[in-house]
Structure 1
Amino acid sequence: MIMNVPHKLRVMNKSLVLNIVREHGRISRAQIASKTNLTRASVSQIVNDLLEDNVIYEAGTENSALGRKGIGLEFNRSYGYTLGVDLGGTKISLGLFDFNGDIMEKETFPTYEVDNSNEFIHLLGNSLLKFMRKHKVADEKLLAIGIASPGIIDYKNGIVVEGSPNLPEWDSLNLSKEIEKIFDVPTFVENDVRSALIGEFWKGKCQGVKSAVLLSLGTGVGSALLIDGHIIRGAGNGAGEVGYFLFNREQLNQDWGKEGCLESLISGSGLPKQYDKRRQMEQSKSNTSPSDGNKDPKSNHEQVTAKQIFQMAKEGEPIAEELVDEFIDYLCLTILNLIVTVNPEKIVLTGGLSRSADVFLEKVKEKVNRHTFTQHAVDLEVSNLFDDAALSGIAILSLNSLLPDINFMQDIKIR
């Protein structure tokens, strides 16, 4: 008696063949049979199904080990597209990704200046539609939308639980539902730093590792963790909120509010405030105004930027040097605490302040290494993707959630 192959096994074999075609590039049916140990008849049936689904296509011929030519098969990158969105307090980036998770087009523009989330979402919908039309993406080709947003995100339900103060009415917002009303395609929402970490595993500095931390030093401070191949979100989706780190007893008695202690000390928003505070103290002591020869590039009423503080430190400006020294120490404390807590293989720095790493990175490495045991040794690097990491991460997360049978990242659990 001939028994039918169980449905689950057929699905698994179909997934196996599809992944081999995607990972290998052009490949013949005979080569697939050799790699999978499936019969040629089984491979032929599965390939016919995949061809009918249009997720693979026939592309020329491929030489076989026997010298005969077989019809080559390739993964159909144009099967459908995903839109990635990276929401920031000052800018928004849009990305168009093919079926293989590779970016095709990108666009960046200033964040909308509006007072409520309804108007913001309406403008975002219009921007996405214009972006699709500009790059000739047909409605039926859009598979999913992924949105990387600051704040604490309930990824499973697409809800912004606690959002950024730089985005309007961004608390308790079912963002995926609102976008799905406009586009009628699955929409996935994730924290922006966590999305960026996934992007680093997909295309950046974390490829090939199983445990890593992405430490974002931007307008705010945050981190994302992938440990033993699993993204760590935490019970309340708040894992990695290192901007709230405290370092001494006195800090317990201060009200840090939404900004957080560490964030007020080493972020792109905190450093300028610290600089202004200390400059005013110096002026109060001397009871004088800055002279024309002062290296401070800003007037007494205009706040310097974190980038300018790093530059002034390089030039020897005393207040800037003092702040950068403290920045280095607090950053080292943060990294050392992360190392002994989660024992990562690699820590990657990203965000606007990491672009000034030439000022501080070697000093940070020296101090971290001085206090690190052999079993806690870690590679400390700066991202090469920066803003593109979150876009790539949210796109591949969306594809992975929509199509779990496709192995976009081997042995990494991002959902």
Structure 2
Amino acid sequence: MEVHLPSTIRKMNKEIVLNIIKDMGPISRTEIAKHSGITKATVSDIVKSLIEEKLIFDEKEDADVSKRGTKLHFSKNAAYGIAVDLGGTTIHFGQFNLAGECLAERTVATYDLESSQAFLEQMAADMEAFIRGSGLDPQRLSFISIATPGIVDPASGVVIEGSPNLPGWNNIGLAQFFTDKFHVPVAIENDVRASLIGEMYAGALRHLNSAVLIGIGTGLGSAVLIDGKVIRGANNAAGEIGYMLFQTNQLYDPSAKGHFETICSGSGLEAAAYSLFQRKISAKELFILAAQGNLQAKYVIDRFEDHLAMGILNIVAVLNPEKIVLMGGVTKSISLDRIKEKVGLHTSGVTALSIEISNMQHHSALQGIAILGLNQAFPSLQFMKDKQIY
């Protein structure tokens, strides 16, 4: 029996059925009808369509698709996408299926190249090698998604104002470049905002409606979730806390990196260490020297912790989040207890919040940007229907 519905209603019902199978399968047609409130005849018609599109399959290969007793499965491995977390020190690649599950990962050092074009060509070559090495059919590649430092416009796929840690990273048509290379939809987002979405989906920010993620790596940035909505701002620059000011003299001394970032980031700590010791010292080594009692190192680390605490308090005063999550390479060395103690001096019953370090770390950016890629390539699939990620 053919069931004809107005296109809008049919589309809505199709999305409902597909996501019930994704989230609850294996499941029968009768069970789908009970959970959705959609008639059995309509469910059977939609199921037939989804099987033809290879988004679901019947567990009995020779089963008559009209039979309601057989179980239906989501075809989570029918296609896959490549997610990229582009950092100033390392680049992480991940392969994700249609269920948002990571199938494989690869990490390379960030390329030491002089032009953005050479950088992009090398990224594309590494993506192709990653796909070949996985053994997956290149024809099943369905999306690419890239988390990048800087201010980006997700709608146009352009890096508007990029990171000083990457070559010529301004006004780059990132999405268009990889669309032309791979002929699939490409999603881009700020790396810390992608991490926020990853934490919302699978990490420390599940079930929360107001929270802030602060990324402290080569650079410094944040991403904001308020009342269930990811905040991007008028020009996608919300959360650029690296440009916060703390002293009057900073007002008259513009900084390309941002004054907060020069104090409270891995690159900033290394620059401060070099000026004191006249040799290259990593942020991790600086923390170790401070713990061993070196006064110069302790000065730099104390200044780092004081400014991080002040930055958190400024965020709390403006946004009143339930939780702040810290992530990035530098967070492996910090004293969370000291940060909490300093913040706790200035919070009250209505502004008190929890502060923790991400357990997901770079996986949060990969997970988040994969969800955004899936959202763009397969808008019918729902991953966080109670949150507004765009």
Q: TM > 0.5 between the two?
A: yes
Tell me which amino acid in the other structure corresponds to 1:222: G
After the TM superposition, which residues 303-314 of structure 1 pair with which residues of structure 2 at under 5 Å, given as runs? Answer: 303-314=280-291
| Residues 89 and 218, structure 2, Cα contact 8 Å, conserved in 1 | no
Q: CA deviation at 1:350?
A: 0.4
2:130 aligned with 1:131: yes
**Equivalent residue for 1:390?**
365
- Kindly, what percent of the aligned residue pairs are identical? 42
In structure 2, what is the Cα distance between the partners aligned to 1:161 and 1:39?
A: 48
Tell me which amino acid in the other structure corresponds to 1:274: A
In structure 2, what is the Cα distance between the partners aligned to 1:165 and 1:34?
A: 55
Tell me which amino acid in the other structure corresponds to 1:333: M
Q: Could you say what secondary structure the match of 1:349 adopts?
A: strand
| Residues 151 and 159, structure 2, Cα contact 8 Å, conserved in 1 | yes
**Equivalent residue for 1:320?**
297
Q: CA deviation at 1:309?
A: 1.5
In structure 2, what is the Cα distance between the partners aligned to 1:115 and 1:220?
A: 19
**Equivalent residue for 1:108?**
107
In structure 2, what is the Cα distance between the partners aligned to 1:224 and 1:36?
A: 35
**Equivalent residue for 1:290?**
none
Q: CA deviation at 1:392?
A: 1.2
**Equivalent residue for 1:407?**
382
In structure 2, what is the Cα distance between the partners aligned to 1:247 and 1:89?
A: 25
Q: Could you say what secondary structure the match of 1:247 adopts?
A: coil
In structure 1, what is the Cα distance between the partners aligned to 2:271 and 2:182?
A: 42
**Equivalent residue for 1:86?**
85
Q: Could you say what secondary structure the match of 2:175 adopts?
A: helix
Q: CA deviation at 1:143?
A: 0.8
**Equivalent residue for 2:259?**
261
2:279 aligned with 1:337: no
**Equivalent residue for 2:155?**
156
Q: CA deviation at 1:274?
A: 2.5
In structure 2, what is the Cα distance between the partners aligned to 1:31 and 1:335?
A: 48
In structure 2, what is the Cα distance between the partners aligned to 1:316 and 1:372?
A: 30
In structure 2, what is the Cα distance between the partners aligned to 1:21 and 1:171?
A: 42
Render the CA deviation track for 1:66-119: whole Å, top value 9, x for unaligned. Answer: xxx931111111121010111122221111000111100000111222221222
In structure 2, what is the Cα distance between the partners aligned to 1:116 and 1:174?
A: 14
Q: CA deviation at 1:4?
A: 5.4
In structure 1, what is the Cα distance between the partners aligned to 2:248 and 2:168?
A: 34
**Equivalent residue for 1:287?**
none
| Residues 185 and 376, structure 2, Cα contact 8 Å, conserved in 1 | no
In structure 1, what is the Cα distance between the partners aligned to 2:274 and 2:79?
A: 51
After the TM superposition, which residues 177-326 of structure 1 pair with which residues of structure 2 at under 5 Å, given as runs? Answer: 177-256=176-255, 258-277=256-275, 279=276, 301-326=278-303
In structure 2, what is the Cα distance between the partners aligned to 1:141 and 1:56?
A: 15
In structure 2, what is the Cα distance between the partners aligned to 1:198 and 1:16?
A: 23
In structure 2, what is the Cα distance between the partners aligned to 1:23 and 1:374?
A: 38
In structure 2, what is the Cα distance between the partners aligned to 1:318 and 1:245?
A: 27
Q: CA deviation at 1:136?
A: 2.0
2:49 aligned with 1:53: no
Bigger Cα displacement from structure 2, 40-49 vs 98-107:
40-49
**Equivalent residue for 1:291?**
none
Tell me which amino acid in the other structure corresponds to 1:388: H
In structure 2, what is the Cα distance between the partners aligned to 1:47 and 1:157?
A: 34
In structure 1, what is the Cα distance between the partners aligned to 2:36 and 2:85?
A: 39
**Equivalent residue for 1:368?**
343
Q: Could you say what secondary structure the match of 2:107 adopts?
A: strand
Render the CA deviation track for 1:117-170: whole Å, top value 9, x for unaligned. Answer: 222222211111111111122232111100111111111100011112222221
In structure 2, what is the Cα distance between the partners aligned to 1:78 and 1:273?
A: 46
- Cα 1:273/1:114, change in 2 over 3 Å: closer
Bigger Cα displacement from structure 2, 322-331 vs 50-59:
322-331
**Equivalent residue for 1:297?**
none
Q: CA deviation at 1:399?
A: 0.5
- Cα 1:228/1:353, change in 2 over 3 Å: same
In structure 2, what is the Cα distance between the partners aligned to 1:308 and 1:112?
A: 23
Render the CA deviation track for 1:277-297: whole Å, top value 9, x for unaligned. Answer: 4x3xxxxxxxxxxxxxxxxxx
In structure 2, what is the Cα distance between the partners aligned to 1:9 and 1:126?
A: 43
- The RMSD of aligned alpha carbons is 1.7
Q: Could you say what secondary structure the match of 2:104 adopts?
A: strand
Spell out structure 1 runs of 4+ moving beyond 4 A. Answer: none
**Equivalent residue for 2:35?**
35
**Equivalent residue for 1:378?**
353
Q: TM-score by structure 1 length?
A: 0.88
Unaligned runs of 5+ in 2: 62-67
Equivalent pairs counted in the alignment come to 382
Tell me which amino acid in the other structure corresponds to 1:264: T
Tell me which amino acid in the other structure corresponds to 2:43: V
In structure 2, what is the Cα distance between the partners aligned to 1:115 and 1:320?
A: 32
Q: CA deviation at 1:364?
A: 1.2
Q: CA deviation at 1:410?
A: 2.4
**Equivalent residue for 1:346?**
323
**Equivalent residue for 1:285?**
none
